[in-house]
Amino acid sequence: MTTTGRRALLTAGASVAAAAALSGCTSSGDPGPRKPDPAAREAERVARAEAALRLRSVTASRTLLERYDAALAAHPALAPRLTALRRSVAAHAAALGEGGTTVRPATAPPTP
């Protein structure tokens, strides 16, 4: 190969590399997947934490209801004292169960 051939080859290679680099920098119609911005990630984290807390609270309230029922079954004489407390816990569990969140407390990222 002659010197002219090598120079032409190097020039062509540099031109192709520059064109490839520049085409990667131009905007296109489909930018591809983007990372969520920090505010969106924080909102998702807060929603998941709220859902997990709601689930734990509903579970605890339902467990407490079961214990009130067991105590009332074992000691009917306590009904006047426990009925109002049980009713309050039942209302609390119902309010939490109706929840305002659609996010499941999951450890895996949501699927697209």
Give the pLDDT band (50/70/90) at residue 96.
confident
Q: What is the mean pLDDT of the chain?
A: 77
Residue 99: CB partners within 8 Å, gap ≥ 6?
51, 54
Tally Cβ neighbours within 10 Å of residue 99.
13
Q: How far apart are CA 69 and CA 36, in angstroms?
A: 47
| H/E segment holding residue 65 | helix 38-74
The DSSP code sequence of 18-57 is HHHHHHHHS--S-----PPPHHHHHHHHHHHHHHHHHHHH
Q: Is residue 74 domain-resident?
A: yes
Give the model confidence (pLDDT) of 22-34 as tens digits.
Answer: 565 555 556 667 7
* Total domains present in the chain: 1
**Residue 66 pLDDT more than 90?**
yes
Domain of 79?
Answer: 38-101
Q: How far apart are CA 108 and CA 48, in angstroms?
A: 11
Answer whether residue 83 is part of any domain.
Answer: yes
Evaluate whether residue 112 is within a structural domain.
Answer: no
